[in-house]
Amino acid sequence: MSPSLQEGARLGEGKPSPCPFSIESILGLDQKKDCVPSMKPHRPWADTCSSSEESVLKYEDYFSPSERLSLKRELSWYRGRRPRTAFTQNQIEVLENVFRVNCYPGIDIREDLARKLNLEEDRIQIWFQNRRAKLKRSHRESQFLMAKKNFNTDLLE
């Protein structure tokens, strides 16, 4: 081995030199002695949210309550949340009538409902999922109440 390689090998025997692209630095494991991470972790979703919310709070006095609510909705959309769908009474009645006939409508029926009710097909699919869950929950509760009633009458006899 050449003298320069031997010298390099001796230098490398200790701790490896900190590299900003090492696994330890990416995971934030290369902390300094005072237990403070050497670099702030990169979280663009957190940076965007906090700066957006701070800007809303900073200019809160300049917006009316309705404008603040609208701005808050827009910011929540940027955080990955879709605005909640508000179904009209007519839409709910039609969906309930279809549910009584078929609680598992196929894609064709859902797309037809979407066109007629002016909704997105995936919102209709979610509505049916939630409605089936509600039916299952109410069935389970009624079974529990029936068992409780039978248990109480058996104790009284």
Structure tokens at 10: 């001796």
Across the chain, mean pLDDT equals 75
The answer to whether the Cα torsion of 54, 78, 120, 122 is positive or negative is negative
Amino acid 23: pLDDT:
75
Query: What's the CA gap between 111 and 118, in Å, rounded?
Result: 10
Q: Is the pLDDT of residue 38 over 70?
A: no
Q: What is the mean pLDDT of residues 122-137?
A: 96
- Which CATH class, in words, describes the domain spanning 89-156? mainly alpha
Q: What is the mean pLDDT of residues 80-107?
A: 92
Query: What's the CA gap between 20 and 55, in Å, rounded?
Result: 32
Query: What's the CA gap between 46 and 62, in Å, rounded?
Result: 25
Higher pLDDT, 105 or 62: 105
Q: Is the pLDDT of residue 55 over 60?
A: no
Higher pLDDT, 79 or 2: 79
